[in-house]
Amino acid sequence: MKKLLIIFIAVLCLGGGLFAQQMKVYNNGEIDYVPLSAKFKLFGEDFESSLERLEYSINGEPFKLYTGPISLPAEGRYIIAYRALDKTGNISTEKVYSCIVDNTAPYGGVSAKGTAYVDGGVAYGRGDTAIAVWGEDLLSGVSAIYVNIDNSGFVKHEGASMVGYIHGEGKHKAEAYGVDNVGNKTLVYYAEGYIDNTAPRVEITPKEKFVTLQGENFTNRENTFSVSAYDNTSGVKELFISIDGGDYFTYVDPIKIQWEGKHTIKAKALDYLNNESSPLELSFYVDVKIPRPTLEVNIE
C-alpha cells in the first residue's frame, strides 16, 4: 500500500516597527515577489506513520535538515526545493517554490507639465500647472504613491503615478513617498514651491509732473517717462511699451516723446510664469510752442 506524505510551504512576511508599511507577497501572474523579511515555513503530514524530518535546498545546493523558518539572504531570484521523509524511509516527491526577493524601495520624482519656473532651487508654478509625482520599481513594481499637500494628510494614489493641481496662490509644501507591491517604502520626500497666478503691477512715471488743464495732461518735449513693474512671487521677466497705438516693444530705458500733440503710452509686463498684466495707459499732450512775450508801452 502506497503511503501518503503531504508537504507544503508557507510564506510569512514580517513587518517593521510602529508605522511600518505592511509587507506582503505579491504575484504578478508568473512568480511570487517577497520582501527580504519573508520567512518560509515547511509543513508535512504522514497519515500512516510518524514524520521523520523535512529537508530543503536553495538554488540547487545540497538538501539541509529543516529546523525552523527559512530566511533568504539577499535580493534576487530563488528556487526552494523541499521534501519530507517518514520513519519508514518513504520520501515525498520533491516540490519546488520559486520567488524573487525584492528589498529595494521604488524611486521616482516630481515633474511639472505646463508653465513652471525654477530659480535658485525654488520652484514656481501656476494654478493650471499639472504636477506629476511618479515612481518606478524594477522588481515587484509600484503599488501606490502617497501625497500630502500643506499638511492635509497623506492621500493614497493607486499605481505608479499621479497628476494633480494646486490652485491657491502663495507658498505650498508637499510630501510624498512610494510603496512597491511587497511593501518596500521610500523615504518621505519634501518639496516647497510657490503658486503665482497674479500678473505684475505696472507703473508709468513721468520725470516732471504734468500740468493739468481742463482735465487734460500737458508736458514739454524734454520730459522722460519711466516704466516699472513689480511682482512679489516669480518676479518680472519683461516689460513692453507701445506708443500711440503702435506695436509693443521691449522697454529698456526711459523715453521721450518730442513731437507736438496728443500721445498715449501703453505698458504691460510679463512675469516668469507668463502671467501678463493688462495694459496700463497714460495719455497726455506735448506742447512744443515757445512762449513769445511782448512788451506794450502805455503813456497816460
Q: What is the pLDDT of residues 120-150, one digit of tens each?
A: 888 999 999 999 999 999 999 999 999 999 9
pLDDT tens digits along 238-285: 999 999 999 999 999 999 999 999 999 999 999 999 999 999 999 999
The type of residue at 196 is: D
pLDDT averaged over every residue in the chain: 91
Q: What is the pTM of this model?
A: 0.78
* Tens digits of residue pLDDT in 104-115: 999 988 888 899
Please report the domains of the chain, with CATH numbers, ordered by start residue: 5-101 (2.60.40.10), 107-195 (2.60.40.10), 201-286 (2.60.40.10)
| Phi and psi based region of residue 19 (left: phi greater than 0; alpha: psi -120 to 50; beta: remaining) | left
Specify the higher pLDDT residue, 290 or 281: 281
Of 157, 156, 166, 212, nearest in space to 191 by CA: 166
Residue type, 178: G
* Euclidean distance between CA atoms 114 and 117, whole angstroms: 10
The three cell numbers of residue 170 are 502663495
Give the alpha-carbon dihedral of 89, 90, 94, 95, to 10 degrees: -120
Q: Which three cell numbers stand for residue 186?
A: 521610500
pLDDT for the residue 290:
64
